[in-house]
Amino acid sequence: MKKIFETFRSFLTSLGEKIKRKPKGVAAVNEPPTAPRAKRKMDRFTIISWVVTVFVVVALLGSTILYKNSRPTKFVPVPQPTSAAGVDPVLPGDPVAGANSGGFLFIPRKLQLKTNIPERPRYQSTIYRVSRGDAMLLIADDFKVKTESILFANLQMEDNPHSLKPGMELKIPPVDGLYYEWKDGDTFESVAEKFDAKLDDIIAFPGNNIDLTDPKISPGATVMIPGGSRELRNWAADLQTMGRGANTGTGGASAGNACGGGPVASSLGWPADDHTLSGNPYSPSHLGIDISAPEGSNVYAAGSGVVTMATGGWNYGYGNVIQIDHGNGDVTVYAHLSSIIVSVCQAVGQGALIGASGNTGNSFGVHLHFEIRRGGSNINPYNIVQ
């Protein structure tokens, strides 16, 4: 193509020179014979030829581009699995062909500065080092498991969430449940029944690496029992419920005190100034609630009644502790106190100041541990006083 353009342009130029060539023997006026020949200016024909050449080139290029764009785009469909009705399903992420074009329409999305990576499930346990200010509830929430599951996996805590200490290393299970060391003679059915779990959950859990075509576990192997549970030690039972006496209160069959009668509570209220929880809520592993209470803050009687216990010391991890029998079947417990300002058999009204919050006994951080025992059994205080 380029060679044709050059030949055409040379032909037009030579043709113009022949037409404008001067006759032979005629010399330029006043032009010396030996004077240098002046540079010839471009005449009208040369300009026109250049214009025509550029026009032809542009026209050819434009027609070529128009021809290429007018050709339909070839689309080779990729075979897809068909549904039962014979209709090809559109799978997520597949390009969709437009109705009136040969191109593709894609699902638009907003521009993001960073990629959102979805959280992947864990199948193995992880180790967490306890730091100051941690609480079992916060740790459980961070790893999306229950506090009981953490207690199941860490026998050094002896089923007591108050046993947390800074620097302690906790084994955090990947899901709710417990670890079990497989013993000779165990079967999937017997283990599932023992821990109130589902047989299929044990076999299908990826972290157990069980061959689904031939499920078996060798004795001595540690297996995760998803959803499994066991009885936790009832630390509250170590601290005897103290009632007013055998025939004056309902502190339980083992309750004992010789205080006699006194005021009876019609309702129970909040025992501290702060109405938020600082650590552990009520659960099978924690039969009370931990209320936010700075060191030395006021602790109030939740209802009218008689003080049946006001004892300092360890007291099975409760530390300095107070019990009040409210005469209606309820006994309240106030633990980890820094000071006690009431005495046994003293009658108190609802909201009376009985002591100050602290960090005594088996306590990890200052707070008020508060329990309600109805008929000698613990109930969730948060359902009664809010």
Crossing angle of helices 44-70/2-20, nearest 10°?
160
Indicate whether 80 belongs to any domain: no
Q: Which of 208, 136, 205, 132 has the alpha carbon at shortest distance from 172?
A: 136
Judged against a pLDDT cut of 50, whether residue 246 lies above it is answered with yes
Number of domains comprising the chain: 2
Lowest-confidence range among 38-47, 81-90, 100-109, 227-236?
Answer: 81-90
What is the average per-residue pLDDT within 134-139?
A: 83
Which residue type does 38 have? A
What is the average per-residue pLDDT within 72-95?
A: 55
258 and 330 part of one domain: yes
Q: What is the CATH number of the domain that holds 200?
A: 3.10.350.10
Distance between CA atoms of residues 268 and 386, nearest Å: 9
Distance between CA atoms of residues 289 and 277, nearest Å: 7
Q: Which of 226, 250, 268 is the last residue of a domain?
A: 226
Indicate whether 356 belongs to any domain: yes
What is the average per-residue pLDDT within 219-230?
A: 95
Judged against a pLDDT cut of 90, whether residue 50 lies above it is answered with no
Q: Which of 291, 287, 271, 270 has the alpha carbon at shortest distance from 279?
A: 291
Lowest-confidence range among 64-68, 122-126, 161-165?
Answer: 64-68
Indicate whether 135 belongs to any domain: yes
Give residue-wise pLDDT tens across range 152-181.
Answer: 999 998 888 888 888 999 999 999 999 999
Indicate whether 367 belongs to any domain: yes
Question: Residue 42: which pLDDT band, with cuts at 50, 70 and 90?
Answer: low
Compute and round to an integer the Cα radius of gyration of the chain. Answer: 45
355 and 372 part of one domain: yes
Indicate whether 138 belongs to any domain: yes
Give residue-wise pLDDT tens across range 260-306.
Answer: 788 999 999 999 999 998 878 888 888 899 999 999 999 999 999 99
253 and 367 part of one domain: yes
Q: Are the beta carbons of 280 and 289 closer than 8 angstroms?
A: yes
Q: Which of 196, 226, 256 is the last residue of a domain?
A: 226
Q: Which of 156, 191, 226 is the last residue of a domain?
A: 226
Query: What pLDDT shows up at residue 221?
Result: 95
Q: Which of 139, 143, 161 has the alpha carbon at shortest distance from 152?
A: 161
The H-or-E segment that residue 254 falls in is: none
Judged against a pLDDT cut of 90, whether residue 47 lies above it is answered with no
How many C-beta neighbours within 10 Å does residue 134 have?
Answer: 20
210 and 304 part of one domain: no
183 and 260 part of one domain: no
Burial class (CB in 10 A: 0-12, 13-18, 19+), 258: exposed
Query: What pLDDT shows up at residue 52?
Result: 83
Indicate whether 101 belongs to any domain: no
242 and 214 part of one domain: no
273 and 184 part of one domain: no
242 and 379 part of one domain: yes
Question: Residue 233: which pLDDT band, with cuts at 50, 70 and 90?
Answer: confident
289 and 308 part of one domain: yes
Query: What pLDDT shows up at residue 130?
Result: 92
292 and 344 part of one domain: yes
Give residue-wise pLDDT tens across range 304-355.
Answer: 999 999 999 999 889 999 999 999 889 999 999 999 999 999 999 999 999 9
Q: What is the CATH number of the domain that holds 256?
A: 2.70.70.10
193 and 210 part of one domain: yes
What does the DSSP assignment read for 91-138? -TT--EE-SSSSSEE-------SS--PPPPPP-S-EEEE--TT--HHH
250 and 271 part of one domain: yes
Indicate whether 43 belongs to any domain: no
Query: What pLDDT shows up at residue 334?
Result: 97
Residues forming a β-bridge with 169: 129
Residue with tokens 């080139």: 57
Q: Is 244 helix (H, G, I), strand (E, B) or coil?
A: coil
* Cα 102 off chain centre by: 43
Judged against a pLDDT cut of 70, whether residue 367 lies above it is answered with yes
Cα–Cα distance list, 316 to 40, 125, 164, 194, 343 (Å): 119, 31, 16, 30, 20
Alpha-carbon dihedral 234, 239, 245, 248, rounded to 10 degrees: -50
Domain hosting 371: range is: 235-383
Query: What pLDDT shows up at residue 161?
Result: 84
Distance between CA atoms of residues 80 and 260, nearest Å: 84
Indicate whether 45 belongs to any domain: no
- 2 or 49, greater pLDDT: 49
Question: Residue 191: which pLDDT band, with cuts at 50, 70 and 90?
Answer: very high
- Which percentage of the chain shows pLDDT scores above 90? 46
Give residue-wise pLDDT tens across range 247-258.
Answer: 555 555 555 676
Residues forming a β-bridge with 371: 333
